[in-house]
Structure 1
Amino acid sequence: MTMTNSTSCSEPKAQPQSQLQSQIRVPATYMRGGTSKGVFFNLADLPPEAQVAGEARDKLLLRVIGSPDPYAKQIDGMGGATSSTSKTVIVSKSSKPDHDVDYLFGQVSIDKPFVDWSGNCGNLSAAVGPFAIHAGLLPKERIPANGIVTVRVWQVNIEKTIVIHVPVVNGFVQETGEFELDGVTFPAAEIQVDFMDPADGDGSMFPTGNLVDDLEVPDIGTFNATLINAGIPTIFVDAEAIGYTGTELQDDINNDEKALAMFERIRAYGALKMGLISRLEEAETRQHTPKVAFVSKPKTYQSSSGKVVTDSEVDVLVRALSMGKLHHAMMGTAAVAIASAACVPGTLVNLAAGGGEKESVTFGHPSGTLKVGAKAKQAEQGWVVEKAIMSRSARILMEGFVRVPSTVFD
């Protein structure tokens, strides 16, 4: 056999740049916050094209999550094919006085090519504080050996302040613990999250000026609704008025296309009445907000884990839809809306919870129960809430890099 000096197969030939870098990698952290999961980014780590709002950023986040996916599985991305797991977060040092970090939330549509920036994720808010510490966005002198770090967050989407109380042990964020949160399998460390002045704009929570409105929805009917903008714009309706008991679980709603269509129609007409959209058609491109929820008086039911929730354990039952599906537990921002509405005498939530003045309620959701607090008062512009409080937990699941095709910005 004749030997030659030709290049051997163990020495690969140089490849065009496009082949060598068929994917780009972006530093990222995959975190659970409350009953949601999302991909977290430090703004400074994003490709330059995606460091500013616009089409390039949306393209990147869509590809990271694996959307749009006509199969609705997000197999080729980090998303988990539910509204609770199709989420992205961008955090940076704050540009606002007296704040530590800016937090921008992007709800990624599963089957459509858009990212909804119209609202916040209350569950992932709990993870922003720990992420900011892990990412070095807080000065080292702010981190005690043991104690609580108070992280002041500017929520960019809704232009509100969130205060996150992060436990620290031996100089590190404490992630494990004994705090149990229904909807999350394993216990973890408790993180208190304070939503400051959670109502929209000038502080008025009720965009129509009414605690209860007549909501007319063609082909469905006219029924009472509390339209509130606290935490996230939410439409509360009475469960019985739309044919439900308030004890429903996900399969009772999400396997019923007719029911889902009804809720989407209610959501669209509610958004119109709240002034969030000017034309009905706009609701299709604003899936994240508003939310629609139905409430009822306490009843005993079996949660999705098989645990029995008795009527004596809860003040009110609430079921809420997110991105067109019944949520497996409760969105954090909707929990703020529940707390705010429950503490204003005369709203549907308050009446279902027994009426009268309240500063906290325990509500039942498909996965169990959650206690939330809020203090409401009347001001010149109407009812306002100074602060809504709830406990969550958060944990880093994975950190490193996400990879996306280098053609993502084409």
Structure 2
Amino acid sequence: MSFAAQIKIPATYMRGGTSKGVFFKLDDLPERAQVAGQARDDLLLRVIGSPDPYGKQIDGMGGATSSTSKTVILSKSSQPDHDVDYLFGQVSIDKAFVDWSGNCGNLTAAVGSFAISNGLIDSARIPENGLCTVRIWQANIQKTIIAHVPVTNGEVQETGNFELDGVTFPAAEVQIEFLDPADDGEEGGSMFPTGNVFDELTVPDIGTFKVTMINAGIPTIFLNAEDIGYTGTELQDQINNDDAALKRFETIRAYGALKMGLISDISEAKSRQHTPKVAFVSPPKSYQSSSGKDVHETDVDLLVRALSMGKLHHAMMGTAAVAIGTAAAIPGTLVNLAAGGQDREAVRFGHPSGTLRVGAQATIENGQWVVQKAIMSRSARVLMEGWVRVPADCF
């Protein structure tokens, strides 16, 4: 009996923010995986090592968490005034599907670096020393993102002294601007899909909760921590080791997705795990982060915990940080109220690994809230580059 040999595909394994993923150039993929469809999904599943009933992704590049089960496909941009098209695939760990419904804000920090190093940026636009501005078209959500990538001696500068809570070692700072981060497309239709800065969400057999549902960065459902029995200081194990709590959060997420118009039937939530996110907020409190670092009440404006792919995130998703900063800038949202209720253009929030600052400016235009951009700083680094190998008959 003969078996198909393995093939090798050029790839780069990168950290961006508090996530890791496998990066590909579109034209390096096998021809049938260069277009969206089952072949592409099957290839990426095999690269990452999914579906894995053991939940470990031992036979692939994934790290068995939502933060490390990610793929990115990049190409020269098809859009005017943009440098690179960025397509993100969130790979399920234990199920055979890739979710293309949203962006990864953390890996966005690595997109500019990869694009510069892999010939996707016109060399005339790369300074010998300074910042290279990379204009990214985020293909999943049809939005523009600007990355300011440090360059030294004509090459991407990855080392530095910028520290990001949730990342062990310091690196070079990459500033990211998410332009017009609110969703104005078909899904949801506006920043606040119900037209309200807060609503009541009824979840059968669980309860009715005050929520802020927002489409900014990534569709997100915010709840008050105390309304669901938490303080807002929880760390990963307190949530992720509680199967009943995870099931309750998933049910809340599903009914929130329905109310946001992201799905038309509650059953569709199972095949849309990446969006929307669920997060809970509380006013500032002191706590000890997962690394043992003390976060003092006076260090932050509020606390936020968020779930990704059914588990509490170890830090904060970059796209969810955009949602937090946007909601904090708009009076009356649960995020704004948890932060004290005043007008603000930036917010520092506490998450399980420490703190993060994100800025956003909100204005009312024609009776609707509008946010021109949200800004945050991340870092990125190449971890390994070369080829990944997969069986030739896996896709």
Does residue 1:397 correspond to 2:380, yes or no? no
Deviation at 1:380, TM superposition (A): 1.9
Does residue 1:171 correspond to 2:154, yes or no? yes
Report what 2:246 is aligned to.
Answer: 260
Written as runs of structure 1 = structure 2, the 5 A alignment for 1:2-41 is 22-41=5-24
Larger radius of gyration: 1
Match of 2:174 among 177, 188, 191: 191
CA deviation string 1:259-293 (max 9, x = no partner):
00000000000000000000000000000000000
Does residue 1:223 correspond to 2:209, yes or no? yes
Does residue 1:55 correspond to 2:38, yes or no? yes
Written as runs of structure 1 = structure 2, the 5 A alignment for 1:7-406 is 22-201=5-184, 204-380=190-366, 382-406=368-392
Report what 1:10 is aligned to.
Answer: none
Q: How many residues align?
A: 392
Counterpart CA distance in 1 for 2:282 and 2:205 is 23
Counterpart CA distance in 1 for 2:122 and 2:215 is 34
Deviation at 1:327, TM superposition (A): 0.0
Deviation at 1:382, TM superposition (A): 1.0
> Secondary structure of the equivalent of 1:120?
coil
Equivalent AA in structure 2 for residue 232 of structure 1:
I
> Secondary structure of the equivalent of 2:115?
helix
Counterpart CA distance in 1 for 2:214 and 2:264 is 18
> Secondary structure of the equivalent of 2:197?
coil
> Secondary structure of the equivalent of 2:307?
strand
CA deviation string 1:206-244 (max 9, x = no partner):
000000100001111101000000000000000000000
Partners of 1:307 and 1:368 within 8 A in 2: yes
Deviation at 1:399, TM superposition (A): 0.2
CA deviation string 1:268-325 (max 9, x = no partner):
0000000000000000000000000000000000000000100000000000000000
Counterpart CA distance in 1 for 2:78 and 2:376 is 26
Counterpart CA distance in 1 for 2:61 and 2:367 is 43
* Gaps in structure 2 of 5+ consecutive residues: none
Counterpart CA distance in 1 for 2:137 and 2:74 is 10
Equivalent AA in structure 2 for residue 129 of structure 1:
G
Counterpart CA distance in 2 for 1:140 and 1:226 is 44
Counterpart CA distance in 2 for 1:366 and 1:282 is 30
Moved more, 47-56 or 374-383: 374-383
Counterpart CA distance in 1 for 2:327 and 2:215 is 9
Deviation at 1:204, TM superposition (A): 2.8
Counterpart CA distance in 1 for 2:278 and 2:300 is 21
Deviation at 1:381, TM superposition (A): 5.6
> Secondary structure of the equivalent of 1:118?
coil
Partners of 1:44 and 1:51 within 8 A in 2: yes
Equivalent AA in structure 1 for residue 201 of structure 2:
L
Counterpart CA distance in 2 for 1:99 and 1:26 is 26
> Secondary structure of the equivalent of 1:272?
helix
Counterpart CA distance in 1 for 2:122 and 2:377 is 25
* Gaps in structure 1 of 5+ consecutive residues: 1-15
Equivalent AA in structure 2 for residue 307 of structure 1:
K
> Secondary structure of the equivalent of 2:385?
strand
Equivalent AA in structure 2 for residue 135 of structure 1:
N
Partners of 1:376 and 1:383 within 8 A in 2: yes
CA deviation string 1:161-203 (max 9, x = no partner):
0000000011110000000000000000000000000000168
CA RMSD, 1 decimal: 1.0
CA deviation string 1:109-145 (max 9, x = no partner):
0000000000000000010000001111111111111
Counterpart CA distance in 1 for 2:331 and 2:256 is 21
Counterpart CA distance in 1 for 2:313 and 2:347 is 19
Counterpart CA distance in 2 for 1:264 and 1:55 is 26
Identity among equivalent positions (%) equals 76
Counterpart CA distance in 2 for 1:141 and 1:373 is 31
Q: TM-score, normalised by structure 2?
A: 0.98
> Secondary structure of the equivalent of 1:334?
helix
